[in-house]
Chain A
């Protein structure tokens, strides 16, 4: 791992010294055949897809976990938990296929444009990570001592107040960890995103139009750009940025683990 990181750092420094820091990190266009190596489109794409996935997936996943663990019991609860586990195991290429068949036409119908884009990618991976986040959230909800909830009810709080003021508050570290785990999966996801994102390495505010993320950029340019070239070094810089992003998330996960 250290060797890989070292190699990526060397390639990145080589690119930055040759092309410049601003054109690489703040450049709006990635066109290696025209000498433009801006990586902002990929960073922007990853951020947009990550935020969209958070916004869409967290309410759905937490609601699913609450219903499965606190609102229903018996066979229905067991069926919901089994469904979570089963959906976690679905390969991302199948989610991408689903996104291609349903999300892309829906985005085209609602927002116009070709349908392929950052919005389609964000919604597809959001639905993809819902079972993962829900399963982890359910675990943390089940870990909340029943005595806390009983005490809340004994004080006259109704079920909703108990859920919000006691259960979710007590489970917050676990829920946050679940969300960060889901976000890490979103940032690292390649196949499902690549199938619906449109693959256009341009940073723009119209997020319904084709874009690219760091992972899809790596996937599509790794074989097309030789390692010794400036383009190849730009690919290494993408990989380093991705490592830094996921490393930052992992650090927060560890901190949460210690706190809880």
Chain B
């Protein structure tokens, strides 16, 4: 007689009957929440702002841009919202070239980076950003010549004692590639020579300042708006940075807002609004009257350019940094 074997099917994993009701009610709850999220998140017919204006670039200009954007939102409640993102001058320029942002805030001229590709871009020069030399309070030196500064930054001067200061080894603190203040040092002080490869690289003005304040023998450079009492400001030759008279300080970057050829009416309006802001000095931006103009190519500025129209020599970044050049 054949034996009948009853095979019991394994139970499917899942909630036990005890919890089944609870699972059901949770599912319903999740559906309600999803529905609410869709309703709340949907764009409303009235009172909604149009697509925003995206601005990206130099961290030193971000405080000014955020303050300007806040005022813009108050003054123009129905105009597009302005979104400001840091990332560095180079990042802003490259993102503008690629069309992922509407405007770039930079303290490096776009034509020095992109050459002809940036010719015709709209530009608003906001003013000068003095780049100030700061040292640890214990170095015992308050003033250096340009030659000594170059020696310190390139690693030729190893100890502050060589300049009549304390017996402390020199520690150079610098910003990373793409920083406007580094660009100023390399082009206005070092003539294109790289900084010492023993320098500590920091991401932001604030990080440079903190590192200089905490590291014996440290020297760094920051935008003037970031100087604090925890460090000593170093004089250069006959000049000493004075917050009341910043225009006399010889080391500075030119801060600007840049946009591609066909800016939207909202962008144009925002740029004109930024140009009218009177208190730029509060954010460390000094000097020139802000007037929108057209960015010129390096050739038009009389700077050396290669066959592809990209800048060459000290005026610009060589090939390793140059982008695709599409515009």
Contact = CB atoms under 8 A, between A and B. Distances in A.
Contacts of A192: none
Contacts of A230: 319-320
B91 A200 contact: no
B154 interface: no
Contacts of B171: 113-114
Interface stretch (B30-38, B197-205, B286-294): B197-205
B318 A35 contact: yes
A31 B324 contact: no
Nearest to A105: B214
Nearest to A228: B324
B321 A210 contact: no
Contacts of A177: none
B88 A224 contact: yes
Interface in B156-177: 169, 171, 173, 176-177
A200 B201 contact: yes
A199 B202 CA distance: 7
A85 interface: no
Interface string B172-184: 0100111000000
Interface in B182-213: 194, 197-203, 211
A225 interface: yes
B177 A33 contact: yes
Nearest to B171: A114
A153 interface: no
B324 A231 contact: no
B218 interface: yes
Contact of B198 (A29, A200, A225, A229): A200
A200 B321 CA distance: 18
A227 B325 CA distance: 11
Given A35-B318, A221-B177, A231-B320, A108 B91 contact: no
Q: How large is the interface on A (under 10, 10 to 19, 20 to 34, 35 or more residues)?
A: 20 to 34
Contact of A114 (B97, B194, B218): B218
A37 interface: yes
Interface string B312-327: 0000011111111000
Interface string A25-63: 000010111111100000000000000000000000000
A224 B178 contact: yes
B252 interface: no
Nearest to A216: B201
A198 B321 contact: no
Nearest to A198: B200
Contact of A199 (B87, B176, B320): B176
B293 to A, nearest CB: 25
A226 interface: yes
B320 A210 contact: no
Interface string A83-121: 000000000000000000000010010001111100000
A51 B262 CA distance: 53
A223 B194 contact: no
Interface centre among B97, B198, B211 (most CB of A within 10 A): B198
A36 B197 CA distance: 14
A220 interface: yes
B323 A108 contact: no
Nearest to A115: B215
A115 B215 CA distance: 8
A237 to B, nearest CB: 14
Contacts of A36: 320
Nearest to B325: A228
B197 A200 contact: yes
Given A34-B194, A224-B177, A231-B320, A198 B201 contact: yes
A230 B317 CA distance: 13
B202 to A, nearest CB: 7
B270 interface: no
Interface string A206-229: 000110000000001101111111
Contact of B215 (A33, A108, A221): A108
A202 interface: yes
Contacts of A37: 320
A29 B320 CA distance: 13
A210 B90 contact: no
Contacts of A33: 177, 317-318, 320-321
Interface string A188-212: 0000001000111010000001100
Given A220-B201, A220-B203, 11 more contacts: A33-B318, A36-B320, A113-B198, A114-B173, A194-B203, A199-B176, A199-B201, A202-B197, A224-B177, A230-B320, A232-B323
Interface of A: 29, 31-37, 105, 108, 112-116, 194, 198-200, 202, 209-210, 220-221, 223-232
19 contacts: A34-B318, A35-B319, A114-B200, A199-B176, A199-B200, A199-B203, A200-B200, A210-B198, A210-B200, A220-B203, A223-B90, A223-B94, A224-B177, A226-B97, A226-B322, A226-B323, A227-B324, A229-B319, A229-B322
Interface of B: 87-88, 90-91, 94, 97-98, 169, 171, 173, 176-178, 194, 197-203, 211, 214-215, 218, 317-324
Lowest 5 CB-CB distances: which A-B pairs, in order?
Answer: A199-B201, A228-B324, A226-B323, A224-B178, A223-B91
